[in-house]
Structure 1
Amino acid sequence: MFNIIKVHRNILSFPCKVFQARHKTKTHWAKLKKKTGPKYKALNHFDEFYGSVFGEQWPPMKEALLRRSKYVAVINNYGDAEETISYLTNRGAHCLKELMKIQQDFHKTYNPIQDSTEMESQSHANVLKDYVSKLQTSEVSEIYPKTDNIPEKIDLRDKNTEIAAEEKNTVQDNVVIKNKTLDEALEEAEIDQSRLIDPSMGINSEVLYQYIPATKLKGLDEWVPESLHYSYYTSKDKDFPLIVEPETEFRFPEHLKVYTYEMDSEWGMFPEPKRCQTGVYNYYPMDCSSVLAVLALCLSPGDRVLDLCSAPGGKALVALQTLLPDIIVCNDVSISRSNRITKIFRDYLIDYETSNKWRERVLISRVDGRVFTDDYGFDKVLVDVPCTTDRHSVNEDENNIFRPDRVKERLRIPELQTQLLVNALRQVKVGGAVVYSTCSLSPVQNDGVLHTALKHAFETYQIVAVVRDLSASITGLSSTLHLGTDLSKPRYGQLVVPSVAANFGPAYIARLVRVK
């Protein structure tokens, strides 16, 4: 017994230095993981990119993005609607439609419309007529030729320069003086290397190359800075002019019931939805900017609607809650994401799987949105494109677009978005509307893609669409969410900016009406 105790004491007195080394290794590993995780990469990218775009407006946006997002409650008309409204009202929630009406009346009272506005609206009515006639002018025909005789290689040299160069080939003292070749000129030229950027310098050059629509990554000498790519996606009217008209069809649907809390409300968050007596959930929680995207469709009774990138199906559900569409087609290329659409409809629509009514009204398709076709056409098309999903990217590592194995996918995002929007314009009927939306703050993915898609749709398919300005129509939402102003205000669409007081978004919403 004495020997056992003695051995035990010797073990306790043995120095355990291994625990200290293990602790240091664990701490170092944790710090290393934090610096290289997808969330960290996304935040670092946004700090540099959005910091340069939005300036001093970016820090409060960033603070809001890192906090829990806010939601509104879309009342389910196929459940206990009146009972749900009473329950949420007693908790301090307000009807979004009533809030918009009050705010709009406030704007009319304290910001009266000037007499010149009526004259401006009349002039906008003639914009389309003038533009169509302008398309037939020689100037536009030269910019966008309709002939099939397109040269394989475009010679960018000025003809006058070539003629002048030939004249300089003179004979002096029986010696022919010829122009130097390009290689000879380059050997003697002094090349300015002050603008070259080397990633090894310690500057985070990744931000420069995020949105290049490349098919493969090349060496440093062939990298294209994002500044050049950005200019491509944000080319101005001198490249391709867009028509912007004020929106005149915007109305809040009578049967759509949306409830929200005031800015800086003590409640702020809704409880979990509950099952009604009919077996469906009483309301659907979602971002207010997603509701705005559906409102921008300006749905009418009997509309045939396409939700081109529908999953998980929330926007399609809101469209059905208006009781206006006759048929809605929900398309998504992913089988797993399409299954989420089915689950939401099963949870919120009575007898969804057994009723013939839903089989005729709600159709689910699994086709790549870039090649989706339909023989009948659609009155309204919603294209909520894949994007960098800014809020998710800075908060979650799972399924993060900034993961190292998704670099090429991230680089091709604007190209994919452009193709989806062009196809949406092809599927909508003349006179119909397309709503383009993202959940990103990126000007490249927002105004830039919209401008590029409209140009491509015209040059390739002779499709003409006008941009409808929603600014005046959604002034009533100024007491509910924050819209972009000054540096953060887009040129064509509306930007929902995250803020601590109203932490919705980010989201970009633009409404296009096809006229040809």
Structure 2
Amino acid sequence: MLAITKWRIEQRLLVLHMQRRFKRKESQRKKTNTIRAQEYFDVAYPPVYGPRWPSIRLALLSKQKYVAVINNFANHELTVENFQLDDDELAARAKVEPISRYPEEYQLRALAKDPTLGAAEFDNTSRVILPSEVGTRGTSIMMDYVPATKLKGLENWIEETDIFVQQGDREIGFITEKQEEPINLPSMLKVYAFAKGDISDFPQPKMDHHLKVLDYYALDGASLLPVLALDIQAGEKVLDLCAAPGGKTLIALQTILPGIVVSNDASESRGNRIRETLRQYIPHGISSFERHSVITKSDGCNIREKEAYDKILVDVPCLTDRLSLKEDDNSIFKTTRTKERLSLPELQSNLLASALQAVRPGGTVVYSTCTLSPLQNDGVVYLALSKLWQETTIECTIVDMSYAVRPLSFLYRFGTNLGLRYGQIVLPSLLNNFGPMYVAKIRRLR
């Protein structure tokens, strides 16, 4: 009898075990890539962004905001006419809404029209990043760490929480210089955005039936920042190292400044996406212009041309936080792409180091990502520069843009008090739901 009872208990335990195992497998099957991304970010980002993380998270999951860049190669005068809000209308809005929401030009107009607004209401604090708030040490311990320099097997791959202490900047030979001049908006670059809090959609781009191109290009407003940070000058040779799908290449061309823009990607299919983007916005057959745009397919980690470019944009593959939280297809958080995801810091640092060897002395490299990850932002900049310090005679300086970006703080929510040492970051916000976008500017000295 005892043997039968024991057998029944064992059978029951076996059934319970199989049921639990089945439920666990069922649960794993139901977990989507977007859920994996949410779980990852909910662990990795709160230690960095603290009480700001819930609002950032909500913005990432909410409707994204875009700006419209007018296509100079279409009938842009008509397009501008359709987009243009009357200056008096903007000044009127600045009178009835919080005045600090509007650029200084319209704030001054509103004050001129109604002196009763008074200096007390002319509040610029929401538009200004204090220099003391940028680049401070000790405000976020995770910003003081970088990923391992060598990742061999899966057991050695790292997550955000597996970190290694970095040396001081002076110990690896690079310094910081402040950009004294505000960031420049080229006169030919015509950009339109809805006011803060306004989530209206732009109309669908229209075809210019004479030139067979679309009249404007819509993109996340924060994506302008890396191109503006390049500060392209007339006649310069520019490389967009990881250019697909081609939006930032197009913005650079719309400035009408570069002597040539080389758009590179390692993938043939992604190169075709660049071609398609340019085909939709650049009229075919303008031979003088076509000489200014070249598409190449090469490994960005091994650029053969050394000291060949004036400006290089390194907009690297990254966690793409917003996309990862919304799209399941081909997500970087797919279980089959785990090694690829965890190898990103190594790939990013190799791309940046390669760009710094391809830019001429005196030239500029801008490194950018669309992730909040400290490892893929400041951490990668540190890793690339320390690699160059150890392996080459190249010398670089970090360009502190904290002052330069102040005029854009009416449009972007810049992250402050995050311990950022090398770059600026645009944080997603429900008022202006752009980003995330991290941008670091590096000038090669020799």
TM-score normalized with structure 1 length: 0.68
**Amino acid of the residue matched to residue 237 of structure 1?**
D
* Whole-angstrom CA distance in 2 between matches of 1:412 and 1:100: 41
CA contact (8 A) 2:242 2:300 kept: yes
SS of 1:273's partner is: coil
Select the residue among 308, 331, 342 that pairs with 2:275. Answer: 342
Distance 1:282 1:385, change over 3 A: same
Select the residue among 244, 256, 262 that pairs with 2:176. Answer: 244
**Amino acid of the residue matched to residue 214 of structure 1?**
L
Structure 2 stretches lacking a partner, 5+ long: 1-22, 91-100, 112-118, 131-146
* Whole-angstrom CA distance in 1 between matches of 2:148 and 2:40: 12
SS of 2:402's partner is: coil
Select the residue among 202, 206, 215 that pairs with 2:152. Answer: 215
* Whole-angstrom CA distance in 2 between matches of 1:241 and 1:348: 43
1:461-498: per-residue Cα shift (whole Å, max 9, x none)? Answer: 211111111111111211212110123x6221010100
SS of 1:319's partner is: helix
The equivalent of 1:404 in structure 2 is 335
Residues 13-24 of structure 1 correspond to what in structure 2 (within 5 A)? none
Shift of 1:101: 5.8
**Amino acid of the residue matched to residue 311 of structure 1?**
A
CA contact (8 A) 1:102 1:476 kept: no
The equivalent of 1:147 in structure 2 is none
Residues 146-157 of structure 1 correspond to what in structure 2 (within 5 A)? none
Distance 1:440 1:511, change over 3 A: same
CA contact (8 A) 2:173 2:389 kept: no
Shift of 1:503: 0.6
CA contact (8 A) 1:384 1:437 kept: yes
CA contact (8 A) 2:306 2:359 kept: no
Distance 1:63 1:244, change over 3 A: same
CA contact (8 A) 2:422 2:440 kept: yes
The equivalent of 1:453 in structure 2 is 384
Q: Does 1:64 align with 2:59?
A: yes
Q: Does 1:309 align with 2:239?
A: no
Shift of 1:33: 6.5
SS of 1:394's partner is: helix
SS of 1:500's partner is: coil
Distance 1:32 1:103, change over 3 A: farther
**Amino acid of the residue matched to residue 83 of structure 1?**
L
Shift of 1:254: 1.2
Distance 1:77 1:226, change over 3 A: closer
Distance 1:426 1:501, change over 3 A: same
Shift of 1:238: 6.4
Distance 1:100 1:463, change over 3 A: farther
1:404-453: per-residue Cα shift (whole Å, max 9, x none)? Answer: 10011011100000000000000101111000000000110000110111
Distance 1:245 1:257, change over 3 A: same
1:391-410: per-residue Cα shift (whole Å, max 9, x none)? Answer: 11111111110101001101
* Whole-angstrom CA distance in 2 between matches of 1:223 and 1:382: 27
CA contact (8 A) 2:246 2:277 kept: yes
Shift of 1:228: 4.6
1:304-346: per-residue Cα shift (whole Å, max 9, x none)? Answer: 0000000001001000110000111000001111101101111
Residues 28-427 of structure 1 correspond to what in structure 2 (within 5 A)? 32=27, 36-90=31-85, 102=105, 214-218=151-155, 226-229=160-163, 231-232=164-165, 234-237=166-169, 239-240=171-172, 242-248=174-180, 250-265=183-198, 267-277=199-209, 278-351=211-284, 354-374=285-305, 377-427=308-358
Superposition CA RMSD, Å: 3.1
Shift of 1:226: 4.9
SS of 2:238's partner is: strand
SS of 1:499's partner is: coil
**Amino acid of the residue matched to residue 492 of structure 1?**
Y
* Whole-angstrom CA distance in 1 between matches of 2:362 and 2:204: 41
Distance 1:324 1:407, change over 3 A: same
The equivalent of 2:428 in structure 1 is 498
CA contact (8 A) 2:151 2:157 kept: no
The equivalent of 2:93 in structure 1 is none
The equivalent of 1:513 in structure 2 is 443
Q: Does 1:467 align with 2:404?
A: no
| Structure of larger gyration radius | 1
CA contact (8 A) 1:422 1:456 kept: yes
CA contact (8 A) 1:213 1:411 kept: no
Distance 1:57 1:335, change over 3 A: same
Shift of 1:236: 3.4
**Amino acid of the residue matched to residue 494 of structure 1?**
Q
Shift of 1:358: 3.6
Shift of 1:268: 2.8
Shift of 1:34: 7.9
Distance 1:30 1:73, change over 3 A: farther
CA contact (8 A) 1:386 1:413 kept: yes
* Whole-angstrom CA distance in 2 between matches of 1:338 and 1:252: 28
CA contact (8 A) 2:44 2:160 kept: no
Distance 1:225 1:410, change over 3 A: closer
Corresponding pairs, count:
382
CA contact (8 A) 2:240 2:262 kept: yes
Shift of 1:356: 2.6
CA contact (8 A) 2:159 2:342 kept: no
